[in-house]
Structure 1
Amino acid sequence: MRKVFSLLFFALFVASSFSQSKIIYEEISSFKLEESRRLKIQLPRDYDVNIEKSYPIVVVLDANYLFEPVAGNVDYFGYWEDMPEAIVVGIMQGDSRYDDCSYDDTNFMPEEKGASFFEFVGLELIPYIDANYRTAKFTIAVGHDFTANFINYYLFKDPPLFNGYICLSPDLAPMMDERLPQRIPNIETKLFYYLSTGSDDIKDLMEISIDLDKSLSPLKSDNFAYYFDNFEGATHYSLVARAIPSAMEKIFSVYRPISKEEFNNKLMKMDTPIHQYLLDKYKTIEDLFGLTNPIRINDFIATATACEKKKQWESLREIATLAKKQYPDTVMGDYYLARYYEEMGEPKKAMRTYQGGFDKEEVDFITVDLMLEKADKIKEDFGY
């Protein structure tokens, strides 16, 4: 009995280790800072299993209190495929945040310890993470008040160090509200910028955020994806819990599986080929996030359904061909190809294609029984 219990416990332990994200503490020795800094790193759930996969990086300043809400949301959104699984890197700062974020009283750019910390992040931390972990070429920075201001300095690098900026109630340095609207239109790479405050935020900071929003909103373009939230009833600290999931949802909106809203408002209103929308969606994911993901089964079914409703039969054929290539062991590609043949007036080809899926894996509503029923119906109707 003891042996059986031990084996059961071991099995449960192994199972749980594969289903949870992993937290690692590391020390990084910094030449720029002339000291070591402690990092808190969360690796995705499948990091040790899926060794061919690369992951975006989310860098969290003020990790002493900001790491958990960010890491928890990254893990949650990644689990449901609403964003890519990502490596979360927290820089433990504590009281050093004030020196880390210091700037010159004249030009209001990082000085002394602030300048050293600026270089530490860009020249030491990011290269260290890239060298030691499997990273994709997409990085986000997260900061709150002082550190939210500080991450803006990386926008003045060419190209900017980060692809995405999550600024939670920033305590902006003087002139930053003028410099950002001047700098952003000159950035040629794709940039995501999220800004938030709350109605019960610190009054000065709330006003700073509202004024900055007025300057940044007109700058929206193909290269500049900008989002702003002013949460009713949120304080300087409670807004964090509402802003982080909102930021993740907005920044990674294109990554999410096709939703009912996307189906109704985009796919069903398209005059262009629907299969091209599917290809473009995943090309955008590759271009933005550096990820070459297989097309999700959900997205195959959504676009194929739209093709049927809009009678885009050539697009359906293209989707069926893609599905057969990416999921050859499932019935999905055969089903949609058979539907294409039916609509093209080729019932014998449709019947044989339905029959060809009898030994493959079922997907969603597409069962083997459904395939055989459709084949038998054609056989009965046409006397084959």
Structure 2
Amino acid sequence: MDRSSDWLEWFLQKKIRTNKGYMVYKVVLILILLFQFNVHAGSDVSIAKSFEFKSKSLSENRTIVVSLPDGYESSNARYPVLYLLDGVQNLKHVVGSVDVLTRVGSIPPMIIVGIKSKNRMKDFTPTKMDGIEESGEGKAFLNFLGDELIPYIDNKYRTNKFRVLEGHSVAGLFTAYTSMESPDLFDAYIVMGPAFWWNKEEPVREVKSFLSTKPKFNKRIYFGVGKEDGNRHSLKRFVEEIKAAAPSQLVWKHEEFEDEGHMSAPLLNNYFALKFIFSDMELPQEVRDNFTSKKFLEHEFGIMKKYGSAARQPQEIYVPLAMELMKRKDYAGAVTVFRRNADAYEMNKYPQNYVWLAEALEKNKEPEEALKVYKQAYKLSKETGYGELERLTKKVAELKAQL
């Protein structure tokens, strides 16, 4: 196997940049950096566990499915929670998107709590509508979430209190209703193809007055819809009201997807919504351009405080940034970033993460620490079959001789 650092150095020499800062083609770094060694053939894969929850608010049992992030059992970390309406129907594609985005560092690891639907028109509609006798029980379902299910999840699992609510169609209607009826219950909302036509576009009429009374409404809300979805028209009118009255602290986005209808759009909606909701995790360009270890670590500690200690940047940010710092001869800064990269992606068991750190430590005139890290790289290389044992043995011997 060729040395990954050789490939990266070649790209650095080619000076692939934008005028705002350093950039390397994502596809190359994905292939180089995200090579995994911990796949176990023959093992069963389970994405969630289910249980019956007896609700007093609803006077019935509800099926709840819970998907825990990789590493949950072996860590002490606390995690954000995504509450997923129509949870059984949508679980597979949501777990898949969360898995991909978590592995590359675009979102933090999170707990997914899905709620199986029984009667959607009853649970997800906030008001009665003529012709639908069972409608209008949204308040009871909201009480179930706030008074029963969320306290239960917080007590049973290691949550960090950051909560996201996601819903599609009438569940999207309920998600928007929840943001206005109980704005402190969730921190972010994903509203997909919402049924804002409800009761002659009642939500469109209500959102302006709601926002006028909430000048410090500091939530993150994503609205997504397919361009072939008839619900896009009422959503567009809802969004126009937000444009006119949104408080300065409200962070929101509205996207329409070409060639997608009501039932096909949620896959894309969910993926891009998650990236948007957690977009504040990304290291600011100003920190990259005017790097100091202090500013870098302040940002990293900030995202871990907000989203849990397992939150991290993509390696596509850490590694090119540290390589650039090496070129600038800011070896102390490179050590800071490479160390964070190695710690954040420890579970990948990727020896090259430690080789990069050891090289930076050598340049920073820390031979004793470099020796320890080279030994870590050697051990991992042997365990995973990564190779390069001869080169790593030589480096260990060289440093021992120096010391």
What is the deviation of 1:125?
A: 0.9
- For these two proteins, the number of residue pairs brought into alignment is 342
Aligned to 2:303: 285
1:361 corresponding residue in structure 2: 377
Contact 1:159 1:187 in 2 (8 A): no
Tell me by how many angstroms 1:55 deviates. 2.5
Look at both structures and tell me which one has the larger radius of gyration over its CA atoms: 1
Question: Does the aligned pair in 2 maintain the 1:335–1:371 contact within 8 Å?
Answer: no
**1:201/1:32 Cα in 2 relative to 1: closer, same or farther (>3 Å)?**
same
* 1:176 and 2:206 matched: no
Matched residues in 2 for 1:302 and 1:146: separation? 44
Report if the CA contact (8 A) 1:99-1:114 is conserved.
yes
Please state if 1:25 is matched with 2:44. Answer: no
1:194: how far off? Answer: 0.8
Q: Deviations over 1:210-261 (max 9, x none)?
A: 22333335777884331221011211111112211111222233446x7xxx
How large is the RMSD of aligned CA atoms in angstroms?
A: 4.3
Q: Secondary structure at the match of 2:375?
A: coil
Q: Which AA in structure 1 matches 2:225?
A: T
Instruction: Quote how far apart the aligned CAs of 1:183 are.
Output: 4.1
Could you say if the C-alpha distance between residues 118 and 272 of structure 1 is closer, same or farther in structure 2, counting changes exceeding 3 Å? same
Q: Corresponding residue for 1:84?
A: 108
Partner of 2:349: none
Q: CA 1:371–1:184 in 2, change beyond 3 Å: closer, same or farther?
A: farther
1:16 paired with 2:43, answer: yes
1:346 aligns with: none
Matching residue within 208, 216, 221 for 1:193: 221
**Structure 2 Cα separation of the partners of residues 91 and 293 of structure 1:** 25
- In the alignment, the residues of structure 2 paired with residue 219 and residue 291 of structure 1 have an alpha-carbon distance, to the nearest angstrom, of 36
What do the CA deviations read for 1:273-310 (whole angstroms, capped 9, x no partner)?
A: 3x244323323322432335578876553332232344
Q: What residue number does 1:151 align with?
A: 175
Unpaired runs of 5+ residues, structure 2, are 1-38, 130-134, 347-352
Gap change, CA 1:282 and 1:103, over 3 Å in 2 = same
Change (3 A) 1:313 1:81: closer
Q: Which residue of 2 aligns with 1:228?
A: 254
Identity across the alignment (%): 21
| RCO higher in structure (CA 8 A, sep ≥6) | 2
User: Counterparts of 1:313-332 in structure 2 under 5 Å?
Assistant: 315-316=333-334, 319=337, 330=354, 332=356
Assess, with a 3 A threshold, how the Cα gap between structure 1 residues 356 and 79 changes in structure 2: closer, same or farther: closer
Q: Per the alignment, do residues 354 and 208 of structure 1 end up closer, same or farther by CA in structure 2, a change over 3 Å counting?
A: same
Q: What are structure 1's unaligned runs of at least 5 residues?
A: 1-11, 342-348, 380-384
| C-alpha distance 319-145 of structure 1, shift in aligned 2 (>3 A) | closer
Cα deviation code 1:334-381 (max 9, x no counterpart): 43243245xxxxxxx77x77667653426999x8948977998xx9xx
Q: Cα offset for 1:170?
A: 0.9
- Calculate the TM-score normalised by the size of structure 1: 0.72
- Cα displacement string for residues 25-70 of structure 1 (whole angstroms, at most 9, x for unaligned residues): 21111111111112222233433x3242333211111234223322
Query: Aligned-pair distance for 1:122?
Result: 0.9
Cα distance in 2, alignment partners of residues 235 and 76 from structure 1: 24
Distance in 1 separating the partners of 2:122 and 2:152 = 23
